Structure 1
Amino acid sequence: MCLITQNPELCNHQECLYFYSGFAQGLLSYTQSSEIDRACSIVNSQNTMLHMIINKNLETEIILNKVHCEVQQLSLFLSNPRHSEIIVEQSYDSSEVFQLLRSRWDFQYTLQLESELPLTLYKERGFSLAVSLRNSSNENVFLKNHTRCKVLLFTSDDEPKLLKCNIRGKKILRGTTEAEMSEPGIVKFENMVINEVSSHYTNEVFLLAVICLSSGDIKPLVIENLNVKARTMQKKKQKLVKN
């Protein structure tokens, strides 16, 4: 039996080998068994405490690593707001945007359209977008804490899906998809391009959402029934008009 672990199987611990060797040679007597048992009990207790300390250290290390990652991301965001893509991946899932809108969450602010956006756009043709931040009294609000917004494109399914790349691996929505709020409380997306037609998707329309990356108190803006057509269709119409 192992004196350290109390395991009935043979072991290779030097202490055990020394004890049983001495016992076999008559160097140790039966009267010492109680002291040996007491020593084994102390060793077992110490081993248990060491295992507990090791497990606690592992748990602490995991927590410290998690805190370290969060501090790094926060530092990166504050030093350069253009890295806020890191924030949106953790703060918003593609479904969470619409879950927020469907819920009865009482948002402190809302995003509203400030520029007209045609519900019919053309593939690979640039368009711009401007939104304003409004409070509950529908007044323009300017927040100084790096209010940065992002435009996302979704399908019009019952559970909208975030559109990132087409089957060729190209970004479907590209250009100025992120922008910061200017002094009057306006966020401008100067030039964006949709590299896909909506007829390939459910209901043949898209959903365009504008979310705030730096605050959860701002209600996302969703523009529905966005139709994106191929540019060749417009060119054909122009030729027919000329003829």
Structure 2
Amino acid sequence: MCLITQSPELCQHPECLFFYSAFAQGLFSFIQSSSFEHAYSIIDNQNTMLRMIINKNLETEILLNQVYVEAQQLAVFLSNPRHSEIVVEQSYDSSEVFRLLRSRSNFQYSLHLESTLPSVLFKERRFTLEVSLRNVSNEIVFLSSHTRFRVLLFTSDEEPRLLKCNISGKKILRGTTEAEISETGIVKFENMVINEVSSHYTNEVFLLVVICLSSSDIKPLVITDVNVKARTMQKKNQK
């Protein structure tokens, strides 16, 4: 019997051959039957533990193979030419948007308006803004990560001021002011509302700005001459 595998057939393991050879020569004559059974029990327990370790190793190998396959699939996805190679950087403060525009002219990517914005918006009236991310060849770029974009509202002063709240303390710009790029390459800001009329501010218009929160390599989109009127003005025009 094999002492390692417990197989009843004869084996050629050096350990087994040595044991049985020594046993046949009477070298282990001092070992009693009970002692032999005890030794056999120890060997059996060790074999059981070895089999458990082998099974665990097989399970680990299967998991590593799965991780390897998933890593290969991810590498193929990231190497797809439709996706950009944007490296996520530290977000820059919204107050630096115009400083960034004045100081740089060689942006790797830029945002383009895809939806038609009405010439006149009305206070508290919902509207949707859609933009796309494009490279220097004016081709739509698909990001390889979920990069977020934000819409901001500024005055049209020589040094534009970020507008957050009106004189009543309510948010001026509400709705989906942050969004991620979709699979079609479009960033969509839905159900947006401007809770203020532009006539109360310089030049009687606002600046609507879209920025990327994760990379300064993307040129912000500045929509000028955003005219917002009171909803009562719309009713008078309809009469």
**Secondary structure of the equivalent of 1:125?**
coil
Q: How does 1:43-82 map to 2 (within 5 A)?
A: none
Of all paired residues, the percent bearing the same amino acid is 77
1:229 maps to 2:229: yes
Does residue 130 of structure 1 match 2:130? yes
Q: What amino acid does structure 2 have at the position aligned with 1:174?
A: R
Amino acid at match of 1:237: N
The yes-or-no answer on 1:91 pairing with 2:92 is yes
* Largest Rg, 1 or 2: 2
Give the structure with the higher percent helix.
1
RMSD across aligned positions (CA) = 1.8
Instruction: Provide the C-alpha distance between the structure 1 equivalents of 2:91 and 2:128, rounded to a whole number of angstroms.
Output: 27
| Separation of aligned partners in 1, 2:135 and 2:192 | 27
Residue aligning to 1:22: none
CA contact (8 A) 2:149 2:179 kept: yes
Say whether the 8 Å CA contact 1:146–1:214 is kept in structure 2.
Answer: no
**1:215/1:90 Cα in 2 relative to 1: closer, same or farther (>3 Å)?**
closer
How many pairs are equivalent? 152
What is the TM-score normalised by the length of structure 2? 0.61
Q: Provide the secondary structure at the position in 2 that maps to 1:98.
A: helix
**Aligned counterpart, 1:173:** 173
Structure 2 counterpart of 1:200: 200
Q: Secondary structure of the equivalent of 1:170?
A: coil
User: By how many angstroms is 1:105 displaced?
Assistant: 3.7
Could you tell me how far 1:170 is from its partner in structure 2?
Answer: 0.3
- Unpaired runs of 5+ residues, structure 1, are 1-88
- Residues 173-229 of structure 1, C-alpha deviations (whole Å, 9 max, x = no match): 000100000012110011100000000000000000000011111000000011000
In the other structure, the counterpart of 2:110 is: 110
CA contact (8 A) 1:150 1:211 kept: yes
Alignment correspondent of 1:4: none
**2: distance between equivalents of 1:234 and 1:165?**
24
Letter in 2 for 1:225: D
1:205 maps to a residue whose letter is: V
Partners of 2:98 and 2:92 lie apart in 1 by 13
Deviation at 1:152, TM superposition (A): 0.1
List alignment gaps of at least 5 residues for structure 2: 1-89
